[in-house]
Amino acid sequence: MKDNKKEVKLCTGCGATLQTDDPEKAGFIIDFEKHRLCKRCFDIKNYNIVVDKLAVSQKEVAKAHTAIPLTGQNIFLVIDILSFDVKIFDFLSRLAKTNTLYVVVNKIDVLPKSLKFSRIKDYVKNILELNDIFVYKTIYVSSLKRYNIDEITEEIRTSKNVDNHFVGYSNSGKSTLINAIISSVTGTKTDDITTSTIPGTTITPLSFKIYEKNMLDYPGMYLEGSFQNILLDKDINSMSIKQEIYPVNYALQQGRCLFIDRAAVLTIKNAEQAKTNVQFYGSKRLKLHKTSVKNIDKQIVSDRFLISDNYEYEKFDFHIPKNGKTHDVVLPDLGRIRMIGDGQNIEIMAIKGTTPLVKESLIPKRKNKL
């Protein structure tokens, strides 16, 4: 008797179940027999076109991660060095205690070359120690530049564990990293997994083999308060950091503000110094503009920087601590504003749904030369 059940095929780029019924749903494909990629992945790979974000709920992401066994696994947590958020360890707490946990610090290629590698390692080490997070090994890589990929492949090759799970926030570079690992082992260039600046490209776990062992790429978790979660697709491409970041310097007096494109506005409310020097680290394609607080409404109305029809905004007040350390205003997944000096009261007006915060600076202040 003939089985009338339709064969289930998965998109090799994002993991979605391929289907021909609904163009609006994940996995849509025109010809079920001929293609391995859904139309969305095909358009991203060949034309760099992303029609829209496919909503993968946190509940679905969490469900995918519950399939990871509690023991005998290698967990590779991939983090973006510019958006290192320790909350992800709460999400993974049930796995991290009984499995072998690696922290893969990605995108180190975008940091200024003047920043010493020892400083990067100290920064990550301090965060892990302050939050009582034990890891088996920390590995520093650039998935885009394919720097230090061999250190990961060697860990996989020599490990007694058969399964290797790659997890992390959306846009941490997990999928690009796995493509780089496969290329490193096979010696051929590959882009099997679809990658994009748009969050949520991987929909369900994808499985690959190297050294007769399994590598699994999981859907990215959402970084709470990230600009990438809120920005329209057309803005994500222009605001994403893809190259080495350089400081853009501004001197702001009290009552002056700095527009960071249509994403945020920094205002100095009061300060002990006559002026505050700030350095913005982010995408070169972001439009920056210094003006008076009195002109904020004019800038919004003029649509030059903030597009009020597309986004709503809310205000956040911060005090820069006076503790002898340099601090950054972190705009998650967008960039950092380094505050030179301390004791200032500042206001950040940012897209509603995002969460700016103040952290100790990744880039230390320079010592004055005698």
Percentage of the chain lying above the pLDDT 90 cut: 33
Helix or strand run (H / E) with residue 156: helix 149-158
List the structure tokens of 309.
């029809």
Rounded Cα distance between 70 and 163, Å, is 12
Average pLDDT of span 332-348: 90
Q: Is 96 helix (H, G, I), strand (E, B) or coil?
A: helix
DSSP for residue 329: E
Number of Cβ atoms within 10 Å of the Cβ of 28 = 17
**Higher per-residue pLDDT: 73 or 206:** 73
Give the pLDDT confidence score for residue 229 in this predicted structure: 82
Rounded Cα distance between 331 and 287, Å, is 15
Rounded Cα distance between 308 and 59, Å, is 31
Give the pLDDT confidence score for residue 1 in this predicted structure: 44
Q: Compute, in degrees rounded to 10, the torsion defined by CA atoms 304, 305, 310, 314.
A: -140
Using the predicted structure, report yes or no on whether residue 73 has a pLDDT greater than 50.
yes
CB 76 within 8 A of CB 166: yes
Rounded Cα distance between 19 and 11, Å, is 10
CB 254 within 8 A of CB 246: no
Using the predicted structure, report yes or no on whether residue 5 has a pLDDT greater than 60.
no
Which among 167, 10, 140 is positioned nearest to 73, based on CA atoms? 167
Average pLDDT of span 312-331: 91
List the structure tokens of 3.
């089985």
Question: Where does the pLDDT of residue 369 fall: very low under 50, low under 70, confident under 90, or very high at 90 and above?
Answer: very low
Tell me which amino acid residue 214 is. Answer: N
For the chain, what is the mean pLDDT? 83
**Least confident segment among 149-153, 244-248, 262-266, 365-369:** 365-369
Q: How close are the terminal C-alpha atoms of the chain, in Å?
A: 89
Rounded Cα distance between 50 and 45, Å, is 10
Which among 257, 348, 335 is positioned nearest to 299, based on CA atoms? 257
Non-local CB neighbours of 115 within 8 Å, separated by 6+ positions = 362, 363
Per residue in 112-122, pLDDT (tens digit) is 988 999 999 99
Give the pLDDT confidence score for residue 235 in this predicted structure: 79
Give the pLDDT confidence score for residue 370 in this predicted structure: 32
Per residue in 127-168, pLDDT (tens digit) is 888 888 889 999 999 998 999 999 999 999 999 988 999 999
Give the pLDDT confidence score for residue 78 in this predicted structure: 95
Q: Is 171 helix (H, G, I), strand (E, B) or coil?
A: coil
Per residue in 177-227, pLDDT (tens digit) is 988 998 888 887 766 666 666 666 777 788 888 999 999 988 888 888 888
Q: Which domains does the chain have, with CATH numbers?
A: 1-51 (no CATH), 58-224 (3.40.50.300), 248-360 (no CATH)
Using the predicted structure, report yes or no on whether residue 41 has a pLDDT greater than 70.
yes
Give the pLDDT confidence score for residue 199 in this predicted structure: 66
Give the pLDDT confidence score for residue 251 in this predicted structure: 93
**In DSSP terms, which residues pair with 329 in a beta bridge?**
337, 358
